Structure 1
Amino acid sequence: MATAVKTQPETAENSETETAGQGSPLVAVSSGDLMPAIPFPRITRQHLSTVGTVILSLSIGVLLWHFVTAINLDFYINFENVPAPWTVFTAFLAHIQTEIFWTHIGVSMRRILISYSFAVVLGISIGLVMGRSRIARAFIMPYIEVIRPIPAVAWIPLAILMWPTEESSIIYITFLGALFPIVLNTLHGVEQTPEVLVRAVQSLGAPRWAVFRHVVIPAALPSIAAGLAIGMGVSWFSLLAGEIISGQYGIGYFTWNAYSLINYQDIVVGMLMIGFLGTGSTAAVKAITRPMLKWQKRTR
């Protein structure tokens, strides 16, 4: 005798629950619509501790700044003419509402982008060639060692004579500032490549380009990334030297013009903007190079 089994009709809710239990988690957007859950970045206690330490450090610095300006400290270092933090902040709020202030920032950022891009391409290329060729290193290194110690300010008169416009001369000076750290760090990274790995790849019949691509460049990437970060900082130093002497726009010109007009709060505004822009640019370089160094975490 056959036994009748009563089956319960499957509802949409049961179907969603059963599907969600299999594979990746699902989130119901509306009745019958499902989409994968979006993973949000996890904020750990270590991240909160780091952020808190940074905020505490900056707060202590601002409080010390306020204290020495409030009492007009004059003990070897004179703070009588240094503006207070609130005065600088008020001047900053006034400047960000003007178009000319953003023009200065935009001009400096454009100069950095152009000169730094040239320095990255040329610097990494020269460093790789010098690291793998003794002849190229012996030929190029004397020029680097002679030109590298020359400060950016010393280049300004000659750069103005060499280049047709002040803009191109400032970009040239900024390019030189970023070039040498990138070249030397790339050279150092290539020299640190284990020769055993190079010989192993060559014994397998790999051509010279394959050795460069799969062994030399990955091994040199940590040093290259360090050189790119250092080069960004030096490029800002060189840029400001050029803008102070021969520029008509730029955050360096803004700072020097404030000094010429004896506008103390604007001097500090310009200095802080230079610091923020330099810090942000270096952080951007590190963020761009970080994905290329993921293999380091896997090998630890």
Structure 2
Amino acid sequence: MITGAGGMMGSHLAEVLRGEGTQVLPTFFQPTINMGTVDPAISFTPLDVCDREAVRDFIRQHRPSEIYHLAAQSLPTVSWTDPWRTARTNIEGTINIFEAIKEIRAEDAGYDPMTVVACSSAEYGASLTPDRVPVTEDAPLLPLHPYGVSKVGQDLLAFQYFYNHELRCVRARIFNCTGPRKRNDVVSDFGRAIVKAMKEGAPVRHGNLETQRAIIDVRDMVRALIALARRGTAGDAYNICAEKAFRISEVLEMYFEAAGQRFPAEVDPALLRPSDEPIIFGDIAKIKRDTGWAPTIDIRQTIADVLAFEKDQYERHTA
């Protein structure tokens, strides 16, 4: 079962699981991607994780052995303007997943799924200082925006259900992840901006170029989530991150290289946040040790693939 399969990560996960022959149950509520770009052989089921009874009924009917809980209000920028929806979706939605499992286990003691909860590097917040990175899983959780706070709630709820009710779960602390289909992150924003610059002569608009981010490809991320479901230690938290951090200015330079030319660039005040972690970079020694997983895709390959995807989308919508 995948909640939030109408997002970039969940849709790629559904395709990979189906490709390996696994019966996959992707659910979505308000897609953040163009669903037409997903393998048409995959059948999606509408499901609002905030609907307690619907979540319980779905899990009771299908009894999934692996649950990937990715559904979330996942944008820090939106969390500043709508902290209510952010907290409700991320925290209440997680409670509904675990309460459903707990209720079904009361009827069927043999039901014991592994739940991978998509947590976030945003939980570390003020702990992400240059002298403390790459940050390890035992760093203080000091989020700097409502989204980060909601993810701390999700993370600690998962631990509490494991500790109090012995529900198997792992807390996947996901760092910056991107790839084709992504929206509203720096890599996909740059991809679309570069295409507009190429096709329309528009300047490349950007936010803070001085922050540093370790950006992982979605294909590596999906492999990590599956590895945690099958080889992770129940109750534990795991960072999933790329192995090198880059300044956002460097990411923009990589796009110019991929495009084969430079374009005018200018600051967009709308892309500047009230607070921004100077560096986001996580230590992944633990997931490597416990599962054998490691990232394999270079960021330049990711950028090339995102640029190709955005070119294709532009041409399709302007044809």
- TM-score, normalising length from structure 1? 0.21
Max Rg structure? 1
- Structure richer in strand, relative to its length: 2
- Greater helix fraction, Structure 1 or Structure 2: 1
